[in-house]
Chains A and B, each alone.
Chain A
Amino acid sequence: MTTIAVTLNGRSRSHAVEPRETLAGFLRDGCNLTGTHLGCEHGACGACTVLLDGAPVRSCIVLAVAADGRSVESIEGLRDDPIMVLLRTAFHEAHALQCGFCTPGMLITARDILRRHRLPDEALIRRELAGQICRCTGYVGIVEAIRRAGAELAAAQPA
């Protein structure tokens, strides 16, 4: 076992982990943060996306030891994030979730798209979402929700 120190959803904590443990396994089994969903478990579906030092990563293909000394935010830690608040409403109104399995990864990726691109159009959103798989195939609603949230964000922050 190796001891890692991480800032998890704003709180410092240290934890003993097996070096082979993935960040997703650490969050779900070690910290009981089950909002991080494990779909494919080999980096293909994006459901397990979390933030490492503020940037999205796939927690099923990042070892927990690689997060040592860094900041990790899972979907649970983004409850009051202003962009996430907009996105939650937009996802609700655009019917952007069905079973909800892909939703945590979709939301974290959507937030990153809106942080990097002002007023993203459908083509850009679809390109950026290529790594997030929704097996309900509800992409039309998801893309529309992100577009709406982007428009609201731009209206609130004129260029």
Chain B
Amino acid sequence: MRPPPLAYRRPATLDAALQALREDEAATPIAGGQSLVVMLSLRVAATQSLVDIARLPELAQVEWRGEVLRIGAATRHAMIEDGLVPDPAQGLLARVAGGIAYRAVRNMGTIGGSLALADPAADWPVCLMALDATAVIAGERRVAMGDFIQGAYATALAPGEILEAIEIPLLPAEGRWGFAKLARKQGAFSDSLCVAVSRPGRPPRVVLGATGSGARLLPEVAAALSDAADAASLTAAIAQAVAAADPGADSYRLRCHAAIVARAVAQMRQP
């Protein structure tokens, strides 16, 4: 099984890649291809030509800009898992990266590719929304992660645009995070996942993934946490929030979501 016939180009620079996408409106950018090649082979996605952006030097840069870490979009999951890029979030990034699919997939798949595809069960949209990260689209167009992810397989990227980097604000040492994920098998797509992040002096951000529309912020849960709600009210707030965030979910899925949010929040609240 392989994709239908394709044209292929691998421009050497970001400008040349943007030019290639302008010249050929039917072209699709490809980075690690760990979802795209599968989708093309299974004929659930179609394109006539690929513009390979995996090796663009502009997408490989990782640098601190003050208290913000800028990670190039072509950074591979395994590099984050192995600590080859700095972790701005007290170990959260490496923890999330190490749980994505399987090592052989993490060696190819990129953080930017995962965001640009916006699979509803993907880990990075959930993690990066909780960290209040910003998507940097080539041309220095910045979009808050909550606005970048617009639903299942829907993002703020316009045709011809390339996601260049992700900017993640430093989570200080007093910050806390929780991460919980439920999948039937290690590495399989999640039935539910949640990342919760608290920063000193700010309400926590709790994000649920694997809903019908992908990553969803749960402000009601954050509000219950800020109000120092008792255990019963917190459980009720979680149940209400996950039902609102995933209206298409059946009762099993809702129980998964509620348990996963409760676990992530509990981990975040550990001293």
List A residues at the B interface (Cβ < 8 Å): 2, 18-22, 25, 41-43, 46, 49, 52, 55-58, 60-63, 65-66, 68, 109, 112, 127-128, 130-131
Can you list 28 A-B pairs, Cβ within 8 angstroms, ordered by A?
A19-B8, A20-B2, A20-B3, A20-B40, A22-B41, A25-B2, A41-B1, A42-B1, A42-B38, A42-B42, A43-B34, A43-B38, A46-B102, A46-B104, A52-B107, A55-B107, A56-B103, A61-B33, A61-B34, A63-B8, A63-B33, A63-B37, A66-B52, A68-B10, A130-B186, A130-B187, A131-B102, A131-B103
Q: Which residues of A contact B40 (CB under 8 A)?
A: 20
Q: Which of B5, B42, B104, B107 lies in contact with A18, CB distance below 8 A?
A: B5
Question: Which residues of the partner chain A approach B3 to less than 8 Å between Cβ atoms?
Answer: 20
Told that A63-B30, A63-B50, A131-B105 touch, could you supply 9 new A-B pairs with CB distance under 8 A? A46-B102, A52-B107, A61-B38, A61-B41, A63-B8, A66-B52, A130-B186, A131-B102, A131-B104
In the assembled complex, the Cα of A63 lies from the Cα of B105 at a distance in Å of: 13
Given the known inter-chain contacts A41-B1, A65-B8, A112-B103, please indicate yes or no for A19 contacting B41, CB distance below 8 A.
no
Is there a chain A Cβ closer than 8 Å to B185's Cβ? yes
Residue in A19, A25, A52, A55 whose beta carbon sits within 8 Å of that of B50 in the complex? A19
If A22-B2, A130-B187 touch, does A56 touch B104 (CB 8 Å cutoff)?
yes
Q: Are A43 and B5 in contact (CB under 8 A)?
A: no
**Most chain A CB inside 10 Å of its own CB: which residue of B33, B107, B185:** B107
B158 interfacial by beta-carbon distance below 8 Å: no
CB-CB < 8 A to B38: which residues of A? 42-43, 61
- The reply on B210 being an interface residue by CB < 8 A is no
> How far, in angstroms, from A77 to B107 measured CA to CA in the complex?
20
B interface residues (Cβ-Cβ under 8 A, vs A): 1-8, 10, 30, 33-34, 37-38, 40-42, 50, 52, 54, 78, 101-105, 107-108, 185-187
A20-B6, A65-B10 given; A56·B107 CB < 8 A: yes
B41 near A41: Cβ-Cβ < 8 Å:
yes
Complex CA–CA separation, A57 to B34 (angstroms): 10
Number of A-B contacts (CB under 8 A): 81
CA separation between A21 and B5, bound complex, in Å? 9
Which chain B residue has the least Cβ–Cβ distance from A54?
B107
Kindly state the separation between the CA atoms of A42 and B3 in the bound complex, as whole angstroms. 11
> Does the CB pair A49–B187 fall under 8 Å?
no
CB atoms of A65 and B52 under 8 A apart: yes
- Contact flag A57-B108 (CB < 8 Å), given A65-B10, A66-B33: yes
- CB-CB < 8 A to B30: which residues of A? 63
Given A62-B33, A66-B33, check contact A57 B2 (CB 8 Å).
no
The listed residue with most B CB atoms (<10 A of its CB), out of A55, A66, A68, A112, is: A66
Give the CA-CA distance A18 to B84 in the complex, in Å. 34
User: Which A residues are in CB contact (< 8 Å) with B52?
Assistant: 65-66
Provide the bound-state CA to CA distance between A19 and B4, in Å. Answer: 10
Q: Select which of A42, A57, A112 is within 8 A of B41 by beta carbon.
A: A42
Chain B proximity of A94: nearest CB distance (Å): 22
Closest-CB distance, A147 to chain B (whole angstroms):
18
Distance of A65 Cα from B101 Cα, bound (Å): 23
A43's nearest neighbour on chain B, judged by CB, is B38
CA distance A59 to B30 in the complex (A): 16
Complexed CA–CA distance, A25 and B102 (Å)? 21
List the B side residues contacting A68 at CB < 8 Å.
Answer: 10
Whether B10 lies near A43 (C-beta < 8 A) is no
Q: 6 closest pairs, A vs B, by CB?
A: A131-B102, A19-B8, A130-B186, A41-B1, A55-B107, A56-B104
Provide the bound-state CA to CA distance between A42 and B7, in Å.
Answer: 21
- Contact between A49 and B104 (Cβ–Cβ < 8 Å)? yes
Q: Pick the most buried of B38, B52, B185: most chain A CB atoms within 10 A of its CB.
A: B38
Of chain B, the residue at the smallest CB distance from A55 is B107
